[in-house]
Structure 1
Amino acid sequence: MYDVLCVGFGPANIALAVALDELWPAARVKFVEREPAPSWQPAMMLDGADIQNHPSRDLVTPRNPRSRYTFTNYLHEHGRLFKHLNLPSHHPLRKEYAGYVKWVAETVPADVDYGQNVTAIRLAEADASTGAKPVEVLTADGRRYLGRSAVVAPGRSPYVPPVFEALPFPQAAHTSRFLPAIADLDRDFAGTLAVVGASQSAIEVILDLMGRFPAARIVNVMSGYGYRLKDTSPFSEEVYFPEFVDYYYRASEDGKQRLRDLLRPTNYSAADRDVIDTLYLKMYEDELDGRQRVTMRGNRLITAAHQDGAGVTLDLTERITGEQEQLTVDRVVLATGYRDLGTKGRTEQLPPLLREVAGVLAVDPETGLSVGFDYRVENSTAGRGAPPIYINGLCESTHGLGDAGSFSLLALRSQAIVDSLRQRLSAPEGATPATDLVGAASLAATR
């Protein structure tokens, strides 16, 4: 019986492992991870791609700058600190940050079972002596884990538009599977590849395809007119401050929606200037050279997609003129983002792994899963006495953009979860933990 069962060992739960090591080393904790070894975004390790946040907003620095698990210390221990500080760039390369994440995962003294695909999270039978129901985690190869609590960090589900759901891999592949989807194509590939979307990832994929397959034709299909610059104003970037989490969490549902609409360009459907400028310049240079490798199809809705021999045919409708056309390509890369928790639009009501305990969790038909300020999923009436279950990294709808797959608040969120776990698991039977009354005080304490 573990004190805490943690599903997933990506950046969110790696940061949690560091917080547990530094704040609650006596806890009995088990991490269960699907992949055979620690990794971060392996399908998007593209040449020249960087991260989009300050490197010191890493797995631990905002919570404990003196920790040995900081990105700065990683550079120091690998003899790259001065060279990195001399780089002519604002952000680290994604490859280097992936190396940092892997280093922390391998260095922190966490008990991790790799290669274990979790198939179900349930409530086990009540303990005969205490009456408490432990969390039960089951894996595909028959392993069974029991815990007094659980922290679920499976990562957000890729959003695949309905018109593409029936298409096989690799004819249609989300960016989360980009490199495997093109692994069988050789450098002389001269076919046509479609990239759907207008995000940072879409441009990164196009630039990679241009360099990887010089003879290929690339068609970029997007619902908007063209690429928008990401809102990187320092005033807008304060949405990644801990104070904004408090502000957003306490806002009404209408207020949350207004904030989402206003602040969406800080993270979604937009791209950094460096990649936009690079793509535009490459397209211009191609024109000078008398060729056109990249074609833009803006203001297009994709109304159907079907397999056509070894390729894919897309039915497109121009949103302004209503003109309809067909586009046949060899493969489609979907830079269409990820699902959030919720009930409207590109959302899912709860993480798929929690479907078997949905009956004991509080779910609002309008807003979806009810999550406390300490990231604990609140229990329904039927779930009274159920063990605490936390969601780590999926709570943008309740906690704001800092939970939008960003590193910015990983360290502070981990502290909030550890503080709440300690209070709940050590509280006398029937007592109300302080986190129910005042929220995750550890976030506020960092101000």
Structure 2
Amino acid sequence: MNTPTPLLDVLGIGFGPANLALAIALEELAPDLSVRFLERRDGPHWQPGMLLPGSDIQNHPLRDLVTPRNPRSRYSFTNFLFENQRLYEHLNLPLHYPLRLEYAQYVKWVAQFFTHQVDYQREAVSLEAVAERGGYYRVTTADGSVYHARSLAFAPGRTPHVPAPFAGLQDSRIRHLNHYLPSLAATLEHHPEARVAVIGGSQSAVEILLHASEQAGVAHLVGYTRNFGYRQKDTSPFSDEVYFPGFVDAFHAASPENKARLRRELVHTNYSASDIDVLNQLYVRRYEDRLHQRQRINLHTCQEILACRPGPDAVELESQHFLSGEVSRQRFDLVVLATGFLDLGSGDRQEPWPPLLAPLAQGHDTLTIARDYRVALPEHPPLYFNGLCESSHGMGDAGSFSLLALRSQSIVESLQQQLAPPRAALARVFSAL
């Protein structure tokens, strides 16, 4: 087993965009705090399985890792473009939002400034709160490394949502959208006339259908959705105020009943819906196929998936049309679950807490999260959720970049209050353990 690290002020679990924004805020607002991050992947990758040609981020580029908090920061998207000699060319692009590939490069560019604070290929597998001598966390990684910290910033990303017919199936032919591109490549390598199914009515589902339809090796492509058709996102500027910091204040203070009402009303700003540009592309592509008397994309709408049966040669899907009641079965070489992610809570498509936190959450039905993103575990040292708080803070925590910078500021300001006792004194006590 490796030697434990010294006592840290802050240990971050995960180093995606959320904790990267936190690293920036810590450097700019609290440089005296000692910080380290653990990341299970081998580098600062952002959505590598969904970097589809032509896809965009559906987010204003200035709502980046830092600009809403500090427009003068060197870590802004604008400065990234400037330092890479692409500012004027980018400004001249006929695009509403930046390309996903370029934003992935931006994330990687910023992350390189923090490599001294990150341990890559270190997956946290267990943690415990040690109550003695002031309190701290002990975190163990898969390779046996041990870290100690006075606080945790938890940002491992959300758990993929796997619908009931697919739950518990360990089969490389059934993959969540996170792994779409490598899974498709592996499928086409073994099946030159591949049969591919895409489950879900999300933006990602439509983008995957468009991409897969362009691949020469995909012979049969089917999109399944429970809806009557693929729905357009609510992109009204009024609805987009859910990404304003003022909405976070209002949502967090709302009663559980009003939170539920707001989420029902605003669901299509982000879920089970797509931007009009990709919907138009899908519709035109299917129409163009009719002109060529071919059918590259089959859309099975109003469909409920009843069962998924992996077999030796294919995966069989059984579905039912909820209007006619007709049941159909089809076989596929790859099934892509474009079905989103779980939120925190006790309802449908929710989990009470991230699995790693189960030992700390004993005795709690769900976890309560304060406005500063601190988890209400008063018997433990400070623990923050950075990006898992949609049920408590609203749509800005739904995986969007929109509020990363301001959320990081809230967490850092809270950390400065919570970690007010001098670190040196605690470190001396800790070294005597």
TM-score w.r.t. the length of structure 2 is 0.93
CA contact (8 A) 1:170 1:182 kept: no
| 1:358 corresponds to | 361
CA contact (8 A) 1:21 1:108 kept: no
Spell out, residue by residue over 1:341-398, the C-alpha distance to the aligned partner (whole angstroms, 9 max, x if none).
Answer: 00000010001111121137xx3x4xx210010000002xxx53x2010000000000
Q: What is the letter of the counterpart of residue 67 of structure 1?
A: S
Q: What is the letter of the counterpart of residue 417 of structure 2?
A: Q
Q: What is the letter of the counterpart of residue 293 of structure 1?
A: R
Identify the match of residue 367 of structure 2 among 366, 369, 383. Answer: 369
Identify the match of residue 169 of structure 1 among 149, 168, 171. Answer: 171
Q: Secondary structure at the match of 2:178?
A: helix
| 1:322 corresponds to | 325
Spell out the pairing of 1:279-358 with structure 2 (5 A cutoff).
279-358=282-361
CA contact (8 A) 1:230 1:270 kept: yes
CA contact (8 A) 1:21 1:109 kept: no
Identify the match of residue 256 of structure 1 among 248, 252, 259. Answer: 259
| 1:234 corresponds to | 237
Report the more deviating stretch, 315-324 or 405-414: 315-324
Is 2:396 the partner of 1:398? no
Distance 1:142 1:195 in 2: 38
Spell out the pairing of 1:76-225 with structure 2 (5 A cutoff).
76-108=82-114, 111-124=117-130, 126=132, 131-186=133-188, 189-213=192-216, 215-225=218-228
Identity among equivalent positions (%) equals 50
Deviation at 1:185, TM superposition (A): 3.5
CA contact (8 A) 2:188 2:194 kept: no
Change (3 A) 1:4 1:215: closer
Distance 2:39 2:186 in 1: 28
Distance 1:265 1:395 in 2: 18
Q: What is the letter of the counterpart of residue 299 of structure 2?
A: M
Deviation at 1:191, TM superposition (A): 2.8
Is 2:391 the partner of 1:422? no
Structure 2: which 5+ runs fail to align? 1-6, 423-433
Q: What is the letter of the counterpart of residue 376 of structure 2?
A: E
| 2:270 corresponds to | 267
| 2:425 corresponds to | none
CA contact (8 A) 1:169 1:181 kept: no
Deviation at 1:281, TM superposition (A): 0.8
TM-score w.r.t. the length of structure 1 is 0.90
Distance 2:346 2:313 in 1: 36
| 2:428 corresponds to | none
Spell out, residue by residue over 1:210-241, the C-alpha distance to the aligned partner (whole angstroms, 9 max, x if none).
Answer: 11236521110111111111011000000000
Identify the match of residue 8 of structure 1 among 14, 32, 39. Answer: 14
Deviation at 1:133, TM superposition (A): 1.9
Is 2:279 the partner of 1:276? yes
Spell out, residue by residue over 1:97-123, the C-alpha distance to the aligned partner (whole angstroms, 9 max, x if none).
Answer: 000001111124751111101101211
Q: Secondary structure at the match of 1:156?
A: coil
Distance 1:117 1:100 in 2: 24
CA contact (8 A) 1:159 1:336 kept: yes
Distance 1:394 1:322 in 2: 38
Q: Secondary structure at the match of 2:169?
A: coil
Distance 1:241 1:276 in 2: 27
Distance 2:142 2:81 in 1: 38
Distance 2:116 2:59 in 1: 26
Q: What is the letter of the counterpart of residue 50 of structure 1?
A: D
Distance 1:110 1:371 in 2: 30
Query: Number of residue pairs matched?
Result: 416
Distance 1:49 1:269 in 2: 17
Deviation at 1:310, TM superposition (A): 2.2
Structure 1: which 5+ runs fail to align? 429-447
